[in-house]
Amino acid sequence: MFQSLLNAWKLPDLRKKLLFTALIIAIYRLGCFIPVPGVDMDAAQEFFGSGGVFDFYDLFTGGALQTMAIFAMGIMPYITASIIMQLLTMVSPKLEALMKEGPAGQKKVNQYTRYFTAVLSLIEAIGFVFLFKNYGAFPVDEAGNSTFTLMNVWLVVMTLTVGAVTVMWLGELITQRGIGNGISLMIFASIVSRLPSGLQKLFTYNPGIWVAMAVIAVLVIAGVIYVTQGQRRIPVQYAKRVVGRKVYGGQSTYLPLRINMAGVIPVIFASSILLFPVTIAEMTPWTWAKTFASWVGPSTWWYLVAEVILIILFTYFYTAVQFNPIDQADNLKKYGGFVPGIRPGRPTAAYLDRVLTRITLPGALFLAAVVLLPTAIIKGLGVDFYFGGTSLLIVVGVALDTMQQMESQLLMRHYEGFLK
């Protein structure tokens, strides 16, 4: 492990990527401590500490929401916008045609996602301002005048909106020029930053609770590693070709299909899509909306059931986005490869699709179980601890994905990787 890290540091381009990723994450965390001017969040602390939607949202922003920092909304608006755009590509012929145009079309869709992120950020920022205003976050100044003025509101809304767009930009920079997925690493950094305070709170309970939580964490980590490395290997045979006096091909290899090809993205997507309507409902002045938010908030069983269903659906959806059986079958046919016993072309695509559908189900059920069971046990023990299955799964999954990317960089340069 340490030798692999040393080998990674020896590579100039990989070292630059590591340093660049660390720099961007440091900038992101710095922005989580710079407060928005004109807001006194001490008066609005009743929103936090009760296990409600704002505690869960604050976990994904690394504590920036509780202090109303410039990055208070974190990466969540961008994730929500990405989900909605990906779903729209399935129902909109125009967007679907853009996606099929290749890199140029994908670039346009990404641009639409950025615009949509800015709109969602603006809506959420306005909602947060008026919500916290009702609880005294805009105090009276020394002259006795209210600080809730048009200029001050505009300043706070624009600061929060620009902050959310900046976080989106920082995440894209990591994806393009760093190591790992920028969105996932942003959430990873936010959750890990809240871990010390969470552990400090956990230590106030009796030692039996500590042991139970430690066992849950070890089981989740071991399970995630085991399932992440699991794969179904499809045998592939390449036909022999004779060119002059030389014989090419005739090799036997395999096509690896991972059980959990979607990684932790379904968990992040499910959490984001559920948090958005609940957060908006909490911001409204209507009693029925707040009642709805209390019924389906992160601390309720309805939320857990909905999250499990969405995780399973998003696992299949994102797996379909990641792996196209038709394209894979065409590539095999193009280079003379075939699956023994299966005709090349469409029959191969149908076979790959059937196998992928079968192995994705246990992967999706595993993700749902990892999210549901630890959280259910924590609720059963009566522990006020927000680092449930979702948080553990994201932290372990992102760490593994990032390590695998580093390993691929090492293997390309004939170094021994991290995972043996």
- Output the domain CATH number for residue 329: 1.10.3370.10
- Whether residue 72 lies inside any domain: the answer is yes
Question: Is position 202 within any domain?
Answer: yes
Q: How far apart are CA 328 and CA 254, in angstroms?
A: 13
Residue 324: CB atoms within 10 Å? 14
- Tokens, residue 89: 């590509």
Give the model's pLDDT for residue 417.
47
Which structural domain, as residue segments, surrounds residue 139?
Answer: 2-412
Q: Report whether 123 contacts 164 (CB < 8 A).
A: no
Answer yes or no: are the C-beta atoms of 18 and 26 closer than 8 Å.
no
371-379 own/partner pairs: CB under 8 Å, 24+ apart:
371/267, 371/304, 371/307, 371/308, 371/311, 372/304, 372/307, 372/308, 374/216, 374/220, 375/304, 376/304, 377/212, 377/216, 378/213, 378/216, 379/299
| CA angle, residues 420, 215, 301, in degrees to nearest 5 | 110
Please calculate the CA angle 387-66-53 and round it to the nearest 5 degrees.
Answer: 55
Starting at the edge strand found earlier in the chain, the sheet holding 231-238 runs 252-258, 231-238, 337-338
Question: From the first residue on, what is the mean pLDDT of each consecutive set of 10 residues in the chain (420 residues)?
Answer: 67 86 94 84 62 72 84 88 83 80 82 92 86 71 70 88 94 90 89 81 76 80 82 83 60 84 82 76 69 70 84 88 85 83 88 91 88 72 66 82 80 56
pLDDT, tens digit, 9 for 90 and up, residues 277-336: 777 776 666 776 667 766 766 667 788 888 889 999 989 988 887 888 888 888 888 877
Q: CA angle at residue 26 from 21 to 32, to 5 degrees?
A: 130
Instruction: Residue 323: name the closest of 269, 262, 263 by CA.
Output: 262
Q: How many Cβ atoms from other residues are within 10 Å of residue 252's Cβ?
A: 9
In a domain, 419, yes or no: no
Name, in order, each residue with C-beta under 8 angstroms of 375's C-beta and a sequence gap of 6 or more: 304, 388, 389, 390
Q: Does the predicted TM-score (pTM) go above 0.85?
A: no
Q: Is 311 exposed, middle or buried (0-12, 13-18, 19+ CB in 10 A)?
A: buried
pLDDT value of position 384: 61
H, E, C per residue of 37-101: CCCCHHHHHHHCCCCCHHHHHHHHCCCCCCCCECCCCCCHHHHHHHHHHHHHHHHCHHHHHHHCC
Which residue in 417, 402, 399 sits closest to 11, CA to CA?
Answer: 417
Residue 222 structure tokens: 């071991």
Report how many domains make up the chain: 1
pLDDT score, position 368? 87
CA distance 122 to 57: 17
Please spell the DSSP secondary structure of 177-226, one letter per residue: HSSS-HHHHHHHHHHHHHHHHHHHHHTTS-HHHHHHHHHHHHHHHHHHHH
Q: What is the CA radius of gyration of the chain?
A: 24
* Residue 418 within a domain: no
Residue 257 pairs in a beta bridge with 232
End-to-end CA distance of the chain: 10
Q: Answer whether residue 333 is part of any domain.
A: yes
Cα(92)–Cα(366) distance, integer angstroms: 32
In a domain, 84, yes or no: yes
Positive or negative, the CA dihedral 301, 302, 307, 308 is: positive
CA distance 317 to 276: 20
Asked, for residue 320, whether it belongs to a domain, the answer is yes
For residue 394, is it within any domain?
yes
The pLDDT, as a whole number, for residue 247 is 56
